[in-house]
Amino acid sequence: NKTFSDEQLREIGHRNAILMDRLLRHNQRPNQYGSKVASAAINRRRQQEKISRDNLILLK
């Protein structure tokens, strides 16, 4: 078991506080990149839009 001196404990606590502050600031930043939409999702949406248009035509 390693025991730390009071000075070492203060230094460790100080560094931990700095690291925690960095982590919290990093988490609060807005995401600068949008999530990429998969091509399958795009194709499903287009297919659904086409079905909806066709249904509207049939209703007329």
Tell me the domain boundaries of the chain.
Answer: 1-31
Predicted confidence at residue 16, as pLDDT, reads 98
Residue the block writes with tokens 């909806």:
52
Give residue-wise pLDDT tens across range 6-53: 999 999 999 999 999 999 998 887 777 778 889 999 999 999 999 999
What are the angstrom distances between the C-alpha of 51 and each of 37, 40, 56, 60?
Answer: 21, 16, 9, 15
Q: Indicate whether 60 pLDDT > 90.
A: no
